[in-house]
Structure 1
Amino acid sequence: MSYAIIGFGKIGQALAKAFARSGIEVSVATTRAPESFASDAAAIGPGIKPKTLAEAVEADVVFLAVRFEQHPDVAKALPGWQGKTIVDVTNGYGMPPEKLGGQLSSAKAVAKVFAGGRLVKGFNHLGATVLGQDPAVHGGRRVVFLASEDDDAAKDIGALAKSLGFAPIELGGLSEGGMLVQGHGSTWGRLIFKDLIQFEKKS
């Protein structure tokens, strides 16, 4: 399984740190030449591989960590997204319904653009500073919420989240659980910015 992070701002770098801590190789890309951010990638770890956008989108799992309004440009990097899983880390706060294609769910708007792909909303409810920290906290693991119309995709990303040290919690579909972890218009979902820790039950 190959992984890529599209977008290398604060959120993209926070995700890259999670991969580096876990020793999992990941490609990182922006619309800029990889040489322009190679030193930042190297500072995070040797497994963080700067790539062109065209190279990065060849990965099996693509984390979409760009500004919400930039996601259509990323989608154009491939003629179709069949066989790929897209993890939507964007937040559509400030986006009116007409900018969401009439959808109330920003993730559904993203899914429509990434036609053919399996979309999972996730890793977006935490700010970059918190997301970039070690998810092992006081003997527990930091929670990440996942929502998807594809149960298998959600389980696959949940397994990856565990490998990255997080505690994944599946919220159901995009129209239900996905609404809890999104921003759109002038509202935030109820779980946005909730920094929760999961502890193992003691027998």
Structure 2
Amino acid sequence: MRIGMLGAGTIAQAVARHAIRHGHEVVLSNSRGPDSLAPLVADLGPLASAATPEEAAAADLVVLAVGWTRVPDVAARLPHLDGTVVIDATNQFESLPPHARIADLGDLTGSEYVASLLPGARVVKAFNSLFARYIAPDPRHEAGRQVLFLAGDDADAKNTVIGLTSAFGFAPVDLGSLREGGRLMQLGGPLSGLHVLKQD
């Protein structure tokens, strides 16, 4: 699979490393341009490349992992994502700790808002509820596999993400729709920041 990364920070790099270890091609992008990603691409190896966000969004599957305040600008640059599976790994921080402020989206969940900015995309919420240090290492432990909560409105898209992340070693748990499941996972929800293992 060819996986496009919108963002090249800690979360994006952690997911990219899992993908590359399992033989997937990864296309990274950021706001500073492909040249700024040359050292990271060299470190990741021959299955990694750098491109513009528009080019990264043309991949088979896309991971959105940028800061919340940048989401509208990134979305506005992208072509129509007709049927593309987009993993939304964002959290709606208007400002970061120590003075963290959560964006007020009214009745919408964060991923419903993201989906509204990406017409045609099949959005699956995942990776946002885990701290990066729990995403990066091998998710398989002696006591079990790292649970990965996810939510989405498209069953086939969720199955794609479940298959991919299961291969990485995670234990995906489908929480339902972007509205109901997304509310459990997003900032302030009962599963945000919850790190648990599933025994096999």
Q: TM-score, normalised by structure 2?
A: 0.90
Residues 20-169 of structure 1 mapped to structure 2, 5 A cutoff: 20-93=20-93, 94-97=101-104, 100=105, 102-138=106-142, 140-169=144-173
SS in structure 2 of the partner of residue 87 of structure 1? strand
Deviation, 1:139, is: 5.6
CA-to-aligned-CA distance 1:159-185 (integer Å, 9 cap, x gap)? 1111222111100011211111112xx
Alignment RMSD (CA, Å): 1.6
Identical aligned residues as a percent: 39
SS in structure 2 of the partner of residue 63 of structure 1? strand
Deviation, 1:40, is: 1.6
Any conservation in 1 of the 2:54–2:79 contact (CA below 8 Å)?
A: no
Question: Which residue pairs with 1:171 in the alignment?
Answer: 175
Q: Which portions of structure 1, spanning 4 or more consecutive aligned residues, are displaced by more than 4 angstroms? A: none
* Aligned counterparts of 1:31 and 1:59: Cα–Cα separation in 2: 18
Question: Which residue pairs with 1:2 in the alignment?
Answer: 2
* Aligned counterparts of 2:125 and 2:3: Cα–Cα separation in 1: 16
1:117 and 1:105, CA in 2 relative to 1: closer, same or farther beyond 3 A? same
Q: Which runs of 5+ in 1 are unaligned?
A: none
One-letter amino acid of the structure 1 residue matched with residue 152 of structure 2 = S
One-letter amino acid of the structure 1 residue matched with residue 102 of structure 2 = M
Any conservation in 1 of the 2:14–2:132 contact (CA below 8 Å)?
A: yes
Question: Which residue pairs with 1:18 in the alignment?
Answer: 18
One-letter amino acid of the structure 2 residue matched with residue 7 of structure 1 = G
Q: TM-score, normalised by structure 1?
A: 0.88
Any conservation in 2 of the 1:144–1:169 contact (CA below 8 Å)?
A: yes
* Aligned counterparts of 2:10 and 2:176: Cα–Cα separation in 1: 27
- Number of aligned residues: 193
